[in-house]
Amino acid sequence: MDKVLQRVFSDARFIGGQPVEEFEKNFSILHNMPHCISTGNGTDSLFLILKALNLPAGAGVIVPAWGCIASAEPVSLNGLKPVFCDVHPDYYTLDPAKVVEKISPETKAIIAVHLYGQPAPVQQLKQLCEQHQLYLIEDCAQGHLTKVNGTVAGKSGVASAFSFYPTKNLGAYGDAGCVLTADDDLAERIRRLANHGALKKDDHLMEGTNSRMDTLQAAVLNVKLRYLYKWNERRKEIALQYNQLLSGIEGLILPQPAPGAEHTFHIYCIRSEARNALRKYLADNGIETAVHYPAGLPFTQAYRFLHLTPTDFPVTANLQQQVLSLPIYPDLTPEEVTYIAKTIRNFFTVSGR
Ligand SMILES: *Cc1c(COP(=O)(O)O)cnc(C)c1O
């Protein structure tokens, strides 16, 4: 890492250049996709895809109610309407049966989010999109190399958005992102939009924005990309160890991979009605946890204006009170996992929950 960073410093070129081209080439080869367009971050990647699709003003885009606000913001930022849809009670990704109910004549696209590393049901969603003439967009920010029925995330829709935020399964040393697409025209439009409407200097075909990958970030990603597969495998091992050590605890729900899924465990999300007490108990025992997410998107201050209620999103309303993310990252040791699991077991035994 020191060596490749030193080379960027001595070349003194900090946006674009050879490391960025190399990353785009390797990431598209990894997915067997014709186009990879590097961007500034994952939110921009989604923004650029929607912008390039040129949907009619006010068109509806179906977005999961449960997840990261970055999946919804790019919709509104493009003058489109986020249509929140509840998620599957066991898999936490879009539930096709509920998506059908949200489709109206104004709907133009669906954003499928591979949340926590769990692949969204892209086959069923793709079918729905074909039936109703909608675009399927994949948000792969938490789903690097996750698979369902052998299909890797990022290949099923018109385009897919990736984030390389430092904590993602593939993380840069700052913000970075990219778009994958097989559509030549869309790829060119996205590339232009990400660089002030220009493919080369001063060639402004239209207005765009500034969303490019830093050379330093590309250099970091080129090194880390070689480890992505291995690191994902390590995450899966840790998840398996948690599953074994935490099975059979009453009042505790473990993550459940969807049928045909190869979950990549960006997050290992457990659920308990005693979430807050459990979280405090773990903190008191030196174990840091997180809550992804404290509120479903329709219930955040940002979307209050839509006047949506918990009865509209029963699964989301439950999840926000129950979810807890346990430590998971490739360097976590089997001994640490054992200690965490033992502490959780103690909590449920001692508290008699
Ligand atoms: C992180 C994330 C994003 C946004 O990516 P940034 O690079 O932080 O802009 C979008 N969607 C999901 C599901 C994410 O987890």
pLDDT in 10s for each residue of the chain, 353 residues: 999 999 999 999 999 999 999 999 999 999 999 999 999 999 999 999 999 999 999 999 999 999 999 999 999 999 999 999 999 999 999 999 999 999 999 999 999 999 999 999 999 999 999 999 999 999 999 999 999 999 999 999 999 999 999 999 999 999 999 999 999 999 999 999 999 999 998 999 999 999 999 999 999 999 999 999 999 999 999 999 999 999 999 999 999 999 999 999 999 999 999 999 999 999 999 999 999 999 999 999 999 999 999 999 999 999 999 999 999 999 999 999 999 999 999 999 976 55
Please count the helices (runs of H) and the strands (runs of E) in the chain: 12, 12
**Residue 318, number of CB atoms within 10 A of its CB:** 16
Q: How far is CA 236 from CA 86, 101, 184, 224, in A?
A: 27, 34, 35, 18
Task: Specify the pLDDT at position 102.
Answer: 98
Q: Indicate whether residue 71 lines ligand 1 (CB < 6 A).
A: yes
The atom of ligand 1 lying closest to the CA of 115 is 13
What does the alpha-carbon distance between residue 341 and residue 324 come to, in Å, rounded to a whole number? 13
Cβ atoms 61, 107 nearer than 8 A:
yes
Residue nearest to ligand 1 atom 6, measured at CA:
42
In terms of DSSP bridges, do strands 177-181 and 159-163 run parallel, antiparallel, or are they unpaired? antiparallel
Amino acid at 228: L
Task: Specify the pLDDT at position 352.
Answer: 56
Structure tokens belonging to residue 13: 């070129």
What does the alpha-carbon distance between residue 167 and residue 266 come to, in Å, rounded to a whole number? 9
Q: How far is CA 191 from CA 43, 98, 211, in A?
A: 15, 34, 9
Of the candidates 157, 120, 166, 113, the one whose C-alpha atom is nearest the C-alpha of residue 136 is 157
Task: Specify the pLDDT at position 350.
Answer: 76
Q: Indicate whether residue 177 lines ligand 1 (CB < 6 A).
A: yes
Q: Which residues pair with 61 in a beta bridge?
A: 82, 109
What does the alpha-carbon distance between residue 46 and residue 307 come to, in Å, rounded to a whole number? 25
63, 165, 213, 267: residue to mutate for ligand 1 pocket, most atoms within 8 A of CB: 165
The reported pTM is 0.98
Rounded to 5 degrees, what angle do the CA atoms 247, 249, 250 make?
135
Phi, psi angles (nearest 5°) of residue 254: -95, 160
Cβ atoms 113, 95 nearer than 8 A:
no
Cβ atoms 298, 85 nearer than 8 A:
no
Q: Indicate whether residue 141 lines ligand 1 (CB < 6 A).
A: yes
Residues 6+ apart with CB under 8 A from 70: 42, 43, 46, 141, 163
Structure tokens belonging to residue 202: 């001063």
Q: Indicate whether residue 142 lines ligand 1 (CB < 6 A).
A: yes
Determine the distance separating the centroid of ligand 1 and the alpha carbon of 76, expressed in angstroms.
16
Q: Indicate whether residue 163 lines ligand 1 (CB < 6 A).
A: yes
Task: Specify the pLDDT at position 256.
Answer: 98
Which residue shows structure tokens 């960027």? Answer: 8
Phi, psi angles (nearest 5°) of residue 109: -155, 160
